[in-house]
Amino acid sequence: MNNEINNRYHLDKLDRSILKVLQKNADVTNAQLGELVNASVATCQRRVTQLKRLGVIRKEVAIVEPRLIGNPVLAICEVTMQTQTHEALGSFEQMIGVPDEVQQCYRVSAGADFVLVLVLPDMDGYQTFVGSYLTARQGIRNVRTFFSTHRSKFETALPLV
């Protein structure tokens, strides 16, 4: 799908305007969207359908406020592998893609091999997760964890120029 976007489909000004609106509020109706981006309802519906089909719009979600569900622990982990073979890195990504506690996983350069963003119910949940998925696994050389004490910014919208 990415190749189709890169090679055959160019995001024009209207697509970008639609995406800017939907990233802030995906609940808008096509009529409201049309008013906000100065396009017809049918055009907006067709464009949104196409953006979904192409995978530009991956999914629509509800963003939950952590403080209102018990203020879970947010941990940012750097994981360094013993070897950086394609197989070892891929195997780790496949394994770490399973647990719900892993909100994000990034393969990074210069330093650690991966950065994980974890959301856990409490410190006991963190210890259980680390024992089950990180320290008990062969091939992991080092885990370094940072705990968030305050979130000053959280956005999900990508900047669209």
Q: Pick from 106, 80, 82: which is nearest to 93 by CA?
A: 106
Provide the pLDDT for residue 125: 95
Provide the pLDDT for residue 136: 79
3-state secondary structure the chain: CHHHHHHHCCCCHHHHHHHHHHHHCCCCCHHHHHHHHCCCHHHHHHHHHHHHHCCCCCCCCCCCCHHHHCCCEEEEEEEEECCCCHHHHHHHHHHHCCCCCEEEEEECCCCCCEEEEEEECCHHHHHHHHHHHHCCCCCEEEEEEEECCCCCCCCCCCCCC
**Number of alpha carbons in the 13 Å side-chain half-sphere of residue 41:** 5
pTM above 0.85, yes or no: no
Per-residue pLDDT of the chain in tens (161 residues, 90 and over written 9): 444 555 567 899 999 999 999 999 999 999 999 999 999 999 999 999 999 999 999 999 999 988 898 889 999 999 999 999 999 999 999 999 999 999 999 999 989 999 999 999 999 999 999 999 998 788 999 999 999 999 999 999 999 87
Domain 66-147 falls under CATH 3.10.180.10: no
Provide the pLDDT for residue 71: 80
CATH 3.30.70.920 range(s) for the chain read 66-147
CATH 1.10.10.10 range(s) for the chain read 2-53
Provide the pLDDT for residue 6: 52
Architecture per CATH, domain 2-53, reads as: Orthogonal Bundle (1.10)
Provide the pLDDT for residue 18: 97
